[in-house]
Amino acid sequence: MTTKPAVLVTGASTGIGAMYADRFAKRGHDLVLVARDRSRMEHLAARLRAENGVGVDIIKADLTNAAELGQVEARVHGDASIGVLVNNAGMSAPGTFVEQTPDTVAAIVNLNTTALVRLAAAVAPRFVQAGTGAIVNIASVVGVAPELGLTVYGATKAFVLFLSQGLQLELGPKGVYVQAVLPAATRTEIWARAGKDVDAMPGVMEVDALVDAALVGFDRREPITIPPLPDAAQWDAYQAARQAMLPNFVQEQAAERYRNV
């Protein structure tokens, strides 16, 4: 009988992370839940064990704390049973860029990018050596839409998208699958923490719909999954337009439009 890999999920106490834990448990995967709220994780773990008969470990960790992040890095690096990493933990903050303090900006960057890339870096060598494994990075449509105004949050999600694309190109041929999931507005607690009323927002997707769609993309081994996008051809056209520019970037001289002024 094939043993299913365990799944480590960050930001697993609520929202998208908790739903990923629920869905992977229903598929028969053991879990490692990581978040700051131990009480919520214990409640979730008890339910998932009872309903699905899976093993669930809990790591209470603030991923913006270097020592606590290090504990999670050590787990994903050293635990050969973990075959899927879901990098879900993330945050936003109230206010515009000029209203956010340097400490607030740093906290967003540390959680949304530094913790995510360190966990990916901790697990990737083991996955490559095994020739298998999956890294799921939760990005956002905001990462391709500066017009939405969430400047620092969007910048971190653009980083997550680029990182995921680069890792898929590098690790995919070695048997490791990397998926970037780009939600739009989803009904989670991140909005209240960012000072927004989610009930007053249009087009908000429920968490179960988001994760179920993301897992369809996971099963299809899509490198980029955008659950709210009706027409996949639009993303394909976006990618094609970007890739069409690549040959023009390799030039010894500045473009003529910058020389004849």
The one-letter code for the residue type at 162 is F
What gap in Å lies between CA 187 and CA 148, rounded to an integer? 17
Show the CA angle centred on residue 100, arms to residues 228 and 73, nearest 5°.
65
Show the CA angle centred on residue 140, arms to residues 203 and 48, nearest 5°.
85
Cβ neighbours for 103, distance < 8 A, ≥ 6 positions apart: none
Using DSSP's 3-state secondary structure scheme, residue 66 falls into: helix
- 258 catalytic? Reply is no
What gap in Å lies between CA 171 and CA 178, rounded to an integer? 8
Using DSSP's 3-state secondary structure scheme, residue 87 falls into: strand
Instruction: Indicate which residue of 20, 153, 238, 258 is catalytic.
Output: 153
**Full DSSP string of 205-232:** BPHHHHHHHHHHHHHHT-SEE-TT-S-H
The DSSP letter of residue 65 is S
Q: Which residues are catalytic?
A: 153
